[in-house]
Copies of this chain bind each other. A is one copy, B any other.
């Protein structure tokens, strides 16, 4: 089933056709546009300009948790429930530990088997390890493609290591934090600060020993957080995702969160902040590339001066920034 590899650069009419295809919800066009985005193709700008008017509609659900808590199973269960509602659904599985990316990874095919043949479900895996800018660079643009392709909901799934769950929360309209009994996740949660990013907590594998203790711990931690009476209070739910148990209640909690966030303005605030981070990241990338241009003597000679102790890095940075204004 693997696609033959294709050239990254395409003609303008080629790109226009892909954009039209994505707008019409054709999976292959969606996949190719995302590849184009991941490869940092020069046609990226054109694609996103064309897609912009069709964006802003999809609800982005972020899903994170330690390895083994059942993220893929939960995603699969959520996708099934959303399909029953008639939603077109996108899934972006972000793997921060892998340098391998693409739409045809064996893992996805196996894990999401029941949905891979559904033309209304777009599944994509994205590796961020070793990619410049990581999640921040390509994921928001990939979400725009799903969005413009008419997905009512996009699930972004990632393993919670390092900064990844903070990054996911930065991308998502609503963030689900998954834990499971017997993994010391209660304590982990507090340490890792996942409490701050979770809008909904899910104790999966709730049929196992210790599930109720995890629920209790999480509820206590949620209760201790300082929040106004009108603020959203993250619920702690239980699921057995492998049997689909608790999925409807989970979707219900997501619906309630969305309604609450829309009513109190948090929805718009988050989306504005997300767009600001995105624009900023692109601008910083552009400035970085200007620093690195061959023939721009700036950074290279400043770096040598810093290396040899002739200049401190802050003074060097001042000079570099000053040079941006020069012709």
> Residues on A close to B: CB < 8 A?
44-45, 48-49, 51-56, 96-99, 129-130, 134, 140-141, 161-164, 166, 191-193, 268, 271-276, 278-280, 282-284, 286-288, 291, 299-300, 302-304, 306-318, 320-321, 324-325
Contacts and interface: CB of A to CB of B under 8 A. Distances in A.
A134 B45 CA distance: 29
A313 B192 contact: no
Contact of A313 (B53, B140, B164, B191): B140
A99 to B, nearest CB: 6
A321 B278 contact: no
Contact of A279 (B55, B275, B299, B325): B299
Contacts of A275: 302-304, 306-307, 313, 316
Contact of A287 (B282, B313, B321): B321
A234 to B, nearest CB: 18
A52 B321 CA distance: 20
B193 A307 contact: no
A48 B316 CA distance: 11
A22 B310 CA distance: 19
Contacts of A278: 306, 313
A162 B317 contact: no
Contact of A193 (B129, B312, B316, B324): B129
Given A278-B313, A280-B320, A282-B314, 8 more contacts: A44-B314, A52-B312, A53-B309, A54-B309, A97-B161, A276-B303, A279-B299, A280-B299
Nearest to A52: B312
Nearest to A315: B49
A320 to B, nearest CB: 5
A303 B277 CA distance: 8
A317 B49 contact: no
A175 to B, nearest CB: 15
A268 B308 CA distance: 10
Contacts of A308: 56
A163 to B, nearest CB: 7
Nearest to A311: B52
A326 to B, nearest CB: 10
Given A129-B162, A313-B48, A291 B283 contact: yes
Given A164-B162, A192-B129, A49 B303 contact: no
A164 B96 CA distance: 11
A303 B288 contact: no
A275 B48 CA distance: 35
A283 B99 contact: no
Contact of A162 (B162, B192, B312): B162
Contacts of A161: 97, 161-162
Nearest to A280: B291
A168 to B, nearest CB: 13
Nearest to A49: B312
Contacts of A56: 307-309
Contacts of A97: 161-162, 191-192
